[in-house]
């Protein structure tokens, strides 16, 4: 579904991604794990069109999306749940969800999507008239996921969904990622909580200073000595 080949990205003189290549197949949960500054978020931003690579190619469903603007990539079936949630704080829950559907015109199906989101996240339904900025971190993470799902994506990019959340909420968010995946949405997950990420993913790539240093079946990497030492404590 998603193919990334020889991606090179610079921030000024800093070479952030160095010849990165990976792929995500339809129906998978694939995770990128690595320490802070390894290039995980840069990878997602480049794939979703927020950053332009110096070199390399990205294709989505066999269409080249390298250099395509982010809003056009969204229309091609890819949505992103950004790091830090980034909900529209001064808009209500319902208005945030509306923003997720802004490229869609099918009113009956949009209504159906609202119902599905509210079924998945009952707390959002209870708070649909509440300003998003007044909600807890966990609720905002649910809203950010709901907003992305309102675009009816084929593939969902998730950036650090567990960041700043209490352990009980982290489990809830990860359970939801699995559920969304079971309903047919492919997931590319970037996560510092390597244990949680590897426990739900099919495959994983380990990033270090902009390069992939390990890849394989997620359950196998969970038991890999180097991964245990570096990321699982």
- What pLDDT score was predicted for residue 84? 66
Positive or negative, the CA dihedral 99, 109, 150, 165 is: positive
| 183 three-class SS | coil
- What pLDDT score was predicted for residue 108? 87
- What pLDDT score was predicted for residue 155? 96
Q: Which domain holds residue 87?
A: 2-231
Nearest in space to 86 (alpha carbons), one of 40, 140, 134: 140
- What pLDDT score was predicted for residue 111? 86
- What pLDDT score was predicted for residue 233? 58
- In this structure, what CATH number is given to the domain that contains residue 93? 3.40.50.300
- What pLDDT score was predicted for residue 21? 96
Residue with tokens 């290549």: 21
Distance separating alpha carbons of residues 111 and 116, to the nearest angstrom? 9
* Half-sphere exposure at residue 141, Cβ-oriented, CA atoms within 13 angstroms: 22
What is the total count of domains within the chain? 1
Query: What are residue 32's phi and psi, to 5 degrees?
Result: -110, 120
Is-contact 146 121, C-beta < 8 A? yes
Is-contact 75 116, C-beta < 8 A? no
Low pLDDT (below 50) residues in the chain: none
Token pair for residue 78? 């890819």
């Amino acid at each position: 579904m998603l193919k990334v080949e020889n991606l090179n990205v610079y921030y000024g003189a800093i070479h952030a991604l160095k010849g990165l290549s990976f792929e995500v197949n339809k129906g998978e949960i694939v995770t990128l794990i690595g320490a802070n500054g390894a290039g995980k978020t840069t990878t997602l931003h480049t794939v979703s069109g927020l950053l332009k690579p110096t070199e390399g190619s990205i294709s989505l469903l066999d269409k080249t999306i390298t250099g395509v603007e982010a809003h056009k990539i969204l229309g091609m079936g890819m949505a992103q749940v950004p790091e830090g949630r980034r909900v529209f704080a001064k808009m209500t829950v319902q208005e945030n969800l509306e923003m997720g559907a802004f490229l869609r015109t099918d009113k009956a199906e949009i209504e159906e999507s609202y119902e599905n989101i509210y079924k998945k996240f009952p707390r959002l339904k209870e708070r649909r008239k509440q300003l998003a900025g007044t909600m807890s971190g966990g609720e905002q993470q649910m809203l950010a996921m709901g907003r992305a799902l309102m675009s009816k994506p084929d593939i969902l990019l998730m950036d650090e969904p567990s960041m700043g959340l209490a352990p009980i909420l982290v489990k809830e968010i990860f359970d939801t990622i699995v559920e969304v995946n079971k309903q047919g949405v492919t997931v590319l997950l970037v996560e510092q909580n390597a244990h949680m990420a590897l426990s739900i993913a099919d495959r994983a790539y380990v990033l270090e200073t902009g390069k992939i240093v390990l890849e394989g079946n997620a359950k196998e990497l969970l038991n890999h000595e180097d991964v245990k030492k570096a990321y699982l404590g």
